[in-house]
Structure 1
Amino acid sequence: MHWDDLRIFLAVARDGSISGAAKRMNIQHSTVSRRIRLLETQLGTRLIERKKSGYELTPAGDELRMAAGKMELEVLEVEGALGGQEDRVAGELRVSAINNMASSVLMPIFAGFSEAYPDIRLHVQVSNKYVSLAERHADIAIRLTNTPLDTLVGTRLTSVASAVYGERRYLGGLRASGAQPLWIGVECCAFHQSWTHAACPDHRHSFFVDDTLLTLAALKQGLGLAYLPCFMGDSASELERFRQPDPVHDLGLWLLYHPDLKRTKRIRVFREHMVAAVRDQSALFEGRLPQPSGSAF
């Protein structure tokens, strides 16, 4: 058996689909299928079965998954031990980041890193959910949290402030009429959902969104008020703060990675690049940019 074949098998086992594994590993769907069939031929047994809901592991496949997972941890330890001895910074680096950040404020930072280290093949993966770094879903995760997992190590890059925003003309109408504001029903994350429930105790919403980028788009249409991270709200010329940031809503922006990778040079240089770049834009993340004065309700 080849380790590359086992890596492909683990990707299928974790994702539950051939296409998902192919996307994660950046290889062709046909290549994944062929390597799985070859592995089954070498072992003389079926490893996965296709069901209506996707692919499921056979008992033999489940045993191989556990064995291959142990091998993967060993490989991870070797990479960490030897990675710091590299003379040339090169190799694959997979970074999982939040969608609204990866597509906006973080993209110029990623681009700057890629330009500075052209021999590192940077893969940016968008995920707002839990990503297992131990199972190599990614090498680094950039997350908003005040309680990072104690099984990971990392760096708190900055604090991310949030405020309540509305479209400028919509807020002007509210101020002129004195009417009660409408709140957009936000279901993108537990943070914004709980803050919205507290700000709008009757929970009466006529419009709902489940993604922060959708919240931004809805606000621009004048559909009501909503919480947004200040790096998004302050960058949108159509929007204005309805309420100023409250420190109780601050979240830590963390760069997290597995302890066994902390000595790997490409992890180290990426961390150093992110720390410096985010520090230069700390006012944007922390909501400290100058704001025009306006009345709040």
Structure 2
Amino acid sequence: MDWDDLRIFLAVARADSLSGAGKRLNIDASTVGRRIARLEGTLGAKLFVKTPQGYALAPEGERLLPHAESAELALSGAKEALSGPDNLTGQFRIGAPDGCANYLLPQICARLCETHPGLEIQIIALPRVFNLSRREADMAIAVSQPQAGRLVVQRLTDYQLHLAAHEDYLRSRPPILARDDLRGHRMIGYIPDMIFDRELDYLTETGAEWAQLTSNSVSVQMQAIRAGAGLGIVHDFAIPFCPGVRRILTGQISLTRSFWLIRHADDRRSQRMNRLADALGQGIRSEVARLQGLLTSEGSTQERT
């Protein structure tokens, strides 16, 4: 059995389509189809069933899947052994919510690439949960701990969020000294039916019943706040990137959330993935502490109570 055929089999199993697998492998869909047909002919078994939703694994494909994944892991291990214990190379894909992806991962990944020139890092910033079983990413950062699946879950660090507004907006309105003063202000937040994790439901913390300006992206929300559109709950670690944005009512409205690093259970046997997980986790902990420390050091000049 040819490993390259197994590689294509895995891509189709994870993408549920010939075209999706082709994009991952950088080959055309017709070639993917021919290679799958060849593998099925070699094995004398039907591996996929065509459905309206795409290509689903047939029972024979389900039985082949763990063996193909084991072969993939063994090949990865061989490459690790030849590259040396401290040299991280190859492609590495991280899935993360867009707040983390925008304000933390760029500088963390820049340092990783500087230390390991042979490493190629892809950051996928999407406001949803990633499916590691289908290898949408090698690792994912989440804001809550998953309760199901063959996963390795590690709590990375806590981070803080506060109500904030741009100083131009604050200067044009009466002082906000208590929760009751929030009445009549425009609120900025998530689109309610697009909140993919309960940990992102910030609005109730302010006592507001609704937000006038909403987005499924925390970065869009921050830019709206920066434009003076109103008040919103933001990550403390994002504020240093947004001149003029100030925290308010910090003694009355304060949220704490956590970042979790999620990996596929099989990756525990990969020393390369273990080293990458350690480096990524340490980078996130250090960067959150550094950015939040900037607000603490600036003290009252960075917030209004």
Report TM bin, short chain: 0.7 to 0.9
Runs of 4+ in 1 over 6 A off after TM superposition: 79-84, 245-248
Alignment of 1:97-176 (within 5 A): 97-145=96-144, 151-175=150-174
Following superposition, the deviation at residue 254 of structure 1 comes to: 2.3
2:203 maps to a residue whose letter is T
Distance, in Å, in 1 between the alignment partners of 2:105 and 2:114 is 14
Change (3 A) 1:8 1:84: closer
Q: Give the root-mean-square deviation of aligned CA atoms.
A: 3.5
Mapped contact 1:168–1:239 kept (Cα < 8 A): yes
Alignment of 1:1-297 (within 5 A): 1-23=1-23, 25-28=24-27, 30=28, 32-43=29-40, 47=48, 49=50, 51=52, 55-57=54-56, 61-75=57-71, 78=74, 88=84, 89=87, 90-145=89-144, 151-175=150-174, 180-187=184-191, 189=195, 190-191=197-198, 194-203=201-210, 205-244=211-250, 249-281=255-287, 282-285=289-292, 288-291=296-299, 292=301, 294-296=303-305
Mapped contact 1:6–1:68 kept (Cα < 8 A): no
Distance, in Å, in 2 between the alignment partners of 1:246 and 1:79 is 54
Farther off after superposition, 285-294 or 236-245: 285-294
1:166 maps to a residue whose letter is A
- TM-score w.r.t. length of structure 2: 0.76
Change (3 A) 1:131 1:294: closer
Identity of matched residues, %: 21
Change (3 A) 1:246 1:150: farther
Q: Secondary structure at the match of 1:103?
A: helix
- TM-score w.r.t. length of structure 1: 0.78
Mapped contact 2:21–2:32 kept (Cα < 8 A): no
2:59 maps to a residue whose letter is E
Mapped contact 2:267–2:273 kept (Cα < 8 A): yes
Q: Secondary structure at the match of 1:100?
A: helix
1:227-267, Cα deviation, whole Å (9 max, x unpaired): 11111134210311123287973122222223332242222
Change (3 A) 1:14 1:42: closer
Mapped contact 2:91–2:121 kept (Cα < 8 A): yes
Greater helix proportion: 2
Following superposition, the deviation at residue 110 of structure 1 comes to: 0.8
Following superposition, the deviation at residue 106 of structure 1 comes to: 1.4
1:186 maps to a residue whose letter is Y
Task: Mark the runs of 5 or more structure 1 residues left unpaired by the alignment.
Answer: none
Farther off after superposition, 258-267 or 40-49: 40-49
Mapped contact 1:83–1:264 kept (Cα < 8 A): no
Task: Mark the runs of 5 or more structure 2 residues left unpaired by the alignment.
Answer: none
Distance, in Å, in 2 between the alignment partners of 1:17 and 1:245 is 52
Aligned length: 287
Q: Secondary structure at the match of 1:223?
A: coil
